[in-house]
């Protein structure tokens, strides 16, 4: 990457983060945490079935 | 016949592997050529080597098989950023530019780099899922017609743990667990916290565990990881920092485990012993439950393992010990290097099934899949540098080396094709006499230049393994730990009153150099068909001494990749206090060699491991 382009990217990154990622993060977490960061002690299993029939 | 070149790259331990209709032609890790340990760069030299070994050009291949799906991985990176916002800007700024620039289209980079080799036109590139590649590497070369497959690692795209069923030449998914809930990450967090390097120090943590008591295990189960009876689990991410940045653990973790992490190279304390023992116990518990679920859900009686966690040979040994399956087969390149092999297998299946099954063996040929050197090549190298040697017949050389080993000498053993995977399995090895109580510290200090809390690994004639070890099945790739047989034991630990790491110096068996403080050993069983040269050496040693075991450690110094070429081997021989070097049929003695001169201190050039 050229220096000019790198500088442009460095300026843009915080803008993108604030305008896109922070709102998207807050919004998704209103419904559910995409990373399931807290265990669910009441669940019986965490497996996701990937087989063809299930 | 379908031919494919498998590539794994850009994360850790890049590799290339060439498979021709279900037969492995060649496989090697880039680090051995570039001499950069765990080199993550595009494996240009390994790919070139594979093509040379096969005598083909890129045009002759049907497929390039890439070991993971860069787009899905990019999605995971994006979702992680969304999920951690607004706290994750540090990683966002660091990680996103390279993903936008090229990583999300890594296959295009692979195509360009292959084109740069100037070996013809690049065939179409197929991407497989990261865990699909692991699963294929675990099952397709295994000696089983059908089996359950379990892959456990840090993370690929989303999957961190996956269960499959292998039948014929197919691997079918059954179930999975997803990022960030990862046993590999849990183990790495403790590796980091105990002051070792992530992605390579895990092995040390495992070696440290027998010194400790698992007093933190209840705390780990209660706070860090919720384990269900079926082995599925979730981490409580409030205690981990790897989503947010470059480190694995932060404040909450420190609070839980009595203070800040141990600084690298700082003295080891009781706390690290106990942390290692604790995380090892929890890991074993999860692995055993996963194995039981694999058995229940597939109904298979054999299990194949891959993924970085499958290098935890203590946990593997427990699965064997608990008799959950009749038999276990572990891909020797269980880490991401093996993904190249798995992907190549998926892309180049034989039309008439897996032919190695007819011989009742696995397809790995003892992992001897890397570059080999002819006697002409070795002689040309030695002659051109004026290095004094004795040339013997293979049988004479074997007897002579056995005699020197019995005499207490340390021997550099360079034979055959180089091993694929992280372990030296007797082709690029340093060997010694395991009966000698001094051998442990001699090999550590004079050759590896390290203090070690880990004993060396034994190699044993497969037919005599039961004499020495409590092992229920063969362990051809040093991936199973088992106890030393009762009749070889000499006392009980702690009897001589040593404490901490000094306990390793106590003699607790007839083969002290390979016996850990809990009377366990990381065993490699050597059979005649897979490893004829090494088998002969062990047989000669047994004839001369009555002992069918040798000490085996990788041919390198601390922090350096295992030697690949005769040049590498000679350099390591001269830099260290290895007494004798056996290069193919050529025997070199240290006393005869010209003085070794080097500008600067080579030890400063090699990073700490
Ligand atoms: Fe992996």
Fold of the CATH domain B375-604: DHBP synthase (3.90.870)
Average pLDDT over residues B256-270: 93
B228/A48 touch (CB, cutoff 8 Å), yes or no: no
| Interval B553-570: pLDDT, tens | 999 988 899 999 999 999
| Interval B375-420: pLDDT, tens | 999 999 999 999 999 999 999 999 999 999 999 999 999 999 999 9
List the one residue out of B375, B430, B404, B297 whose CA is nearest residue B584: B375
For chain B, what percent of residues have pLDDT higher than 70? 99
The DSSP string of B190-226 is HHHHTT--TTTTHHHHHHHGGGS--TTHHHIIIIIEE
Fold of the CATH domain B3-141+345-363: Nucleotidyltransferase; domain 5 (3.30.420)
| Mean residue pLDDT across chain B | 94
Spatial separation of the C-alpha atoms in residues B328 and B148, rounded to whole Å: 10
Beta strands in B450-555 (DSSP E): 457-461, 480-483, 520-526, 549-554
The position carrying tokens 């092995």 is B203
User: Among B97, B174, B230, whose Cβ lies nearest the Cβ of A45?
Assistant: B230
**Is residue A54's pLDDT more than 60?**
no
User: Among A22, A35, A40, whose Cβ lies nearest the Cβ of B80?
Assistant: A35
- For position B492, what pLDDT does the model report? 60
Q: How is chain B split into domains, by residue range?
A: 3-141+345-363, 183-327, 375-604
Give the chain B residue whose CA is nearest to the CA of A31.
Answer: B83
Q: What are residue B520's phi and psi, to 5 degrees?
A: -110, 165
Q: Which two tokens stand for residue B175?
A: 């179930």
Same fold, B3-141+345-363 and B375-604: no
Which strands, in side-by-side order, build the sheet including B327-330? A48-49, B170-178, B159-167, B146-152, B302-306, B327-330
Distance of alpha carbon B70 from its chain centroid, rounded? 24
- The neighbouring-strand residues paired with B27 are B17
- Residue B234, min C-alpha distance to chain A (Å): 6
- The whole-model pTM stands at 0.95
Reported confidence tier of residue B22, pLDDT bands at 50, 70, 90: very high
Distance of alpha carbon B75 from its chain centroid, rounded? 29
Average pLDDT over residues B73-92: 89
Spatial separation of the C-alpha atoms in residues B193 and B221, rounded to whole Å: 17
Q: Does A51 touch chain B (CB under 8 A)?
A: yes
Q: Which two tokens stand for residue B529?
A: 């068909």
List the one residue out of B29, B26, B30, B19 whose CA is nearest residue B50: B26
For residue B286, the CA-to-ligand 1 centroid distance in Å is: 18
Spatial separation of the C-alpha atoms in residues B149 and B171, rounded to whole Å: 8
Contacts of A40 in chain B (CB under 8 A): 226, 234
- Please state which of the four CATH numbers 3.30.390.30, 3.30.420.40, 1.10.1660.10, 3.40.190.290 is assigned to the domain occupying B183-327: 3.30.420.40
| Interval B419-455: pLDDT, tens | 999 999 999 999 999 999 889 888 888 787 777 788 8
| Interval A15-49: pLDDT, tens | 889 899 899 888 888 888 888 888 999 999 999 99
Average pLDDT over residues B155-174: 97
**Is residue B261's pLDDT more than 60?**
yes
Q: Does A43 touch chain B (CB under 8 A)?
A: yes
Stated as kind and residue range, the H or E segment containing B275 is: helix B270-298
**Is residue B213's pLDDT more than 80?**
yes
Q: Does B527 touch chain A (CB under 8 A)?
A: no
The DSSP string of B22-59 is TEEEEEEETHHHH--TT--S--HHHHHHHHHHHT--GG
**Is residue B494's pLDDT more than 60?**
no
Where is pLDDT greater, at B494 or B538? B538
SS3 B174: strand
B246, with CB counted inside 10 A (0-12, 13-18, 19+), is exposed
Distance of alpha carbon B298 from its chain centroid, rounded? 27
B234/A39 touch (CB, cutoff 8 Å), yes or no: yes
B349-361: string of b/e by CB count within 10 Å (b at 16+)? bbeeebebbeeeb
Contacts of B75 in chain A (CB under 8 A): none
B237/A26 touch (CB, cutoff 8 Å), yes or no: no
């Amino acid at each position: 990457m050229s220096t000019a382009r790198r500088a442009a990217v460095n300026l843009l990154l915080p803008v993108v983060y604030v305008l896109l990622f922070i709102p998207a993060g807050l919004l998704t977490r209103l419904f559910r945490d995409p990373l399931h960061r807290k265990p669910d002690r009441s669940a019986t299993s965490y497996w996701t079935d990937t087989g063809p029939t299930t | 016949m379908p031919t494919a070149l498998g590539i794994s790259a850009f994360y850790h331990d890049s590799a290339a592997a060439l498979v021709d209709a279900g037969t492995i032609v060649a496989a090697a890790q880039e680090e051995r050529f570039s001499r950069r340990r765990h080199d993550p760069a595009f494996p240009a030299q390994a790919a070139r080597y594979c093509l040379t070994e096969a005598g083909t050009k890129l045009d002759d291949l049907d497929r390039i098989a890439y070991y993971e799906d860069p787009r899905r991985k990019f999605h995971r990176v994006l979702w992680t950023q969304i999920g951690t916002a607004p706290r994750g800007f540090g990683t966002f700024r660091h990680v996103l530019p390279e993903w936008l620039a090229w990583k999300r289209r890594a296959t295009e980079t692979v195509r360009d780099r292959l084109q740069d080799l100037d070996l013809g036109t690049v065939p179409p590139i197929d991407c497989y899922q990261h865990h699909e590649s692991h699963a294929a590497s675990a099952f397709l070369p295994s000696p089983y017609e059908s089996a359950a497959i379990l892959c456990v690692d840090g993370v690929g795209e989303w999957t961190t743990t996956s269960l499959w069923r292998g039948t014929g030449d197919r691997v079918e998914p059954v179930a999975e667990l997803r990022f960030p809930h990862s046993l590999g990450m849990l183990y790495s967090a403790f590796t980091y916290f105990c002051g070792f390097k992530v992605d390579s120090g895990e092995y040390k943590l495992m070696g440290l565990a027998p010194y400790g008591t698992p007093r933190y295990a209840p705390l780990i189960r209660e706070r860090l990881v919720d384990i269900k009876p079926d082995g599925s689990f979730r981490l409580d991410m409030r205690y981990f920092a790897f989503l947010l940045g470059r480190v694995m653990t932060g404040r909450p973790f420190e609070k839980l485990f009595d203070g800040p992490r141990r600084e690298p190279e700082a003295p080891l304390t009781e706390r690290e012993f106990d942390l290692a023992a604790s995380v090892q116990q929890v890991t074993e518990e999860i692995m055993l439950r996963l194995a039981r679920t694999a058995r229940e859900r597939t109904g298979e009686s054999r299990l194949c393992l891959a993924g970085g966690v499958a290098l935890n040979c203590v946990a593997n040994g427990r699965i064997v010990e608990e008799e959950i399956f009749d038999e276990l087969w572990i891909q020797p390149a269980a880490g991401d290097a093996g993904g190249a092999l798995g992907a190549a297998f998926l892309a180049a299946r034989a039309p008439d099934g897996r032919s190695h099954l007819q011989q009742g063996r696995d397809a790995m040929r003892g992992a001897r899949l890397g570059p080999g050197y002819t006697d002409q090549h070795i002689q040309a190298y030695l002659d051109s540098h004026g290095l004094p040697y004795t040339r013997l017949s293979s049988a004479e050389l074997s007897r002579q080396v056995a005699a020197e080993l019995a005499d207490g000498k340390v021997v550099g053993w360079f034979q055959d094709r180089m091993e694929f995977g992280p372990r030296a399995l007797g082709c690029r090895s340093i060997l010694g006499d395991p009966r000698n109580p001094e051998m442990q510290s001699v090999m550590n200090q004079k050759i590896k230049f390290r203090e070690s809390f880990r004993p060396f690994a034994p190699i044993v004639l497969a037919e005599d393994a039961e004499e020495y070890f409590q092992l229920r099945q063969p362990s051809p790739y040093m991936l199973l730990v088992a106890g030393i047989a009762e009749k070889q034991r000499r006392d009980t630990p702690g009897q001589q009153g040593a404490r901490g790491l000094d306990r390793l110096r106590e003699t607790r068996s007839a083969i002290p150099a390979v016996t850990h403080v809990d009377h366990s050993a990381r065993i490699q069983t050597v059979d005649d068909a897979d490893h004829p040269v090494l088998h002969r050496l062990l047989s000669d040693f047994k004839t001369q001494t009555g002992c069918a075991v040798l000490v085996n450690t990788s041919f390198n110094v601390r922090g350096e990749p295992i030697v690949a070429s005769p040049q590498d081997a000679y350099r390591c021989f001269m830099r260290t206090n290895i007494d004798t070097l056996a290069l193919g049929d050529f025997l070199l003695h240290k006393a005869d060699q010209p003085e070794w001169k080097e500008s600067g201190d080579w030890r400063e050039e090699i990073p700490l491991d």
